[in-house]
Structure 1
Amino acid sequence: MIGTIFNCLTIIVGSLIGSFLKKGIKERYQEILMQAMGFAAVALGINAIVQYMPKSDFPVLFIVSLAIGGLIGEMIDIETQFNKLVGRFSKSDLAKGLSTAILLFCIGTLSILGPINSALHGDYTYLFTNAILDFVTSIVLASTFGIGIAFAAVVLFVWQGSFYLLAIYLNDFMSAHLLTEISIIGGILILASGLSILGIKSFKSLNMLPALLVPPLFFIITHFF
């Protein structure tokens, strides 16, 4: 878990630096930074989809996952609950920035493969590389949305910690095929988040998060049956 802890610390430090810079950035510059993050999220999302879609052995799984996950997320209404929680601490658009930060930090090859490699091989290369990327991203996000971006580190710890434990106890299911399916869904969610930041259309990206749980369940079920 050393790599994950280091990754979380870089996000916290980056958020502190970004929030400090925010005080000296004029509103029009904050707006252009927000647009930059929107375009970056769109580009990362498209890249993930294009990269992993051709590798999928189950081309319909991501559609089923989004449908089932979306219905579950809408029933729980994760987006509204999240906005209410964040609204207690901030009256700005922190919720939008924080939800984007969570998706950018958590949904990616490095953030998933990192804890798996750490658990199985003691290799921290992916996590350390991911930490550097997240450090820069957290500075930019916090310079736009504020210090609240640091809360994404808590979610990242739980996310990577889950994969770390799964790799130890359920390493048979940590296949490249599962990573591919999760990455496709993650790419779509990041793309939707970027479009929301750009104001093109508002998507309930957080309500779609349960879709990420469908592929692991599918692989576990098919393994036994």
Structure 2
Amino acid sequence: MIGTIVNVVTIIVGSVAGSVFKKGLKESYQDILMQAMGLVAAALGINALATYMPESQYPVLFIVSLALGGVIGQKLDLEQRFKNVVAKISKGNLAEGLSTAILLFCLGTMSILGPIESALHGNHTYLYTNAILDGITSIVLASTFGIGIIWSAVVLFCWQGSLYLLANVLSNSITPELLTETSIVGGVLIFCAGLSILGIRNFKTINLIPALLVPVIFIALKSTMGY
């Protein structure tokens, strides 16, 4: 898990550096950085969709996933629960920044493929590359939202660590088909996060996160039934 540890460290360092910059950063600069992050998130989401949608064997699956996942997330009220937890840590708009950081750091293609590639083939290239990108991103986010962005490093460690362990246990079940479908849903969620940061529309992105489980369940059932 050396790749994941490096990734976590870069986020911690970036968050500390960004929070230091924030103290001497004018509000106008914080606004432009926030706009930049919104555009980055939207661009990453579009890139994931453009990359993986042509490879999808089930073009309707992501629609069903988002619909079912949204209903489940809304029923559980995940967005509000998340905000309540963050409110205990910090005041202000940290919840927005932290949710954006978690989506960017955890749902990117390299953050999903990286731990799997590391576990199955001992290749840490994806994670090292991801670490550089996340380090820069955390500086920008922390300069806008504050040191609280550092908590995303804990979430990332649990996320990538879980994928690493699952890849070792379920090496035969992780297929390109599964990665493609989950990457499409992840791309939509990242795109939504970008639009929210830009103020175009305030999406309840956290409530949509259960959508990531729908392709996993679908493909698992399909495999079990022999289709």
Shorter chain as denominator, the TM-score bin is: over 0.9
1:69 & 1:5 partners in 2: Cα distance?
A: 30
* Deviation at residue 125 of structure 1 after TM alignment: 0.9
2:182 & 2:11 partners in 1: Cα distance?
A: 23
Number of residue pairs matched by the alignment:
225
* Deviation at residue 155 of structure 1 after TM alignment: 1.1
* Deviation at residue 163 of structure 1 after TM alignment: 1.3
Structure 2 equivalent of residue 153 of structure 1: 153
Moved over 3 A (4+): none
1:34 & 1:64 partners in 2: Cα distance?
A: 32
Tell whether the 8 Å contact from 1:53 to 1:59 is kept in structure 2 after alignment. yes
2:122 & 2:46 partners in 1: Cα distance?
A: 31
- Specify the code of the residue in structure 2 equivalent to 1:130: N
* Deviation at residue 36 of structure 1 after TM alignment: 0.7
* Deviation at residue 88 of structure 1 after TM alignment: 1.6
1:12 & 1:73 partners in 2: Cα distance?
A: 29
Structure 2 equivalent of residue 66 of structure 1: 66
Identity of aligned residues (%): 65
Q: Deviations over 1:30-68 (max 9, x none)?
A: 011111111111111111111111110111111111111
Tell whether the 8 Å contact from 1:56 to 1:180 is kept in structure 2 after alignment. yes
Query: How does the TM-score come out when normalised to structure 2?
Result: 0.97
Unaligned runs of 5+ in 2: none
- Specify the code of the residue in structure 1 equivalent to 2:192: A
Unaligned runs of 5+ in 1: none
- Specify the code of the residue in structure 2 equivalent to 1:49: L
The residue correspondences of 1:61-140 to structure 2 (distance < 5 A) are 61-140=61-140
Q: Deviations over 1:1-30 (max 9, x none)?
A: 111111111101100000000001011110
- Specify the code of the residue in structure 1 equivalent to 2:129: T
Query: How does the TM-score come out when normalised to structure 1?
Result: 0.98
Pair 1:53 & 2:36 matched? no
Tell whether the 8 Å contact from 1:173 to 1:219 is kept in structure 2 after alignment. no
Q: Name the Cα RMSD after superposition.
A: 0.9
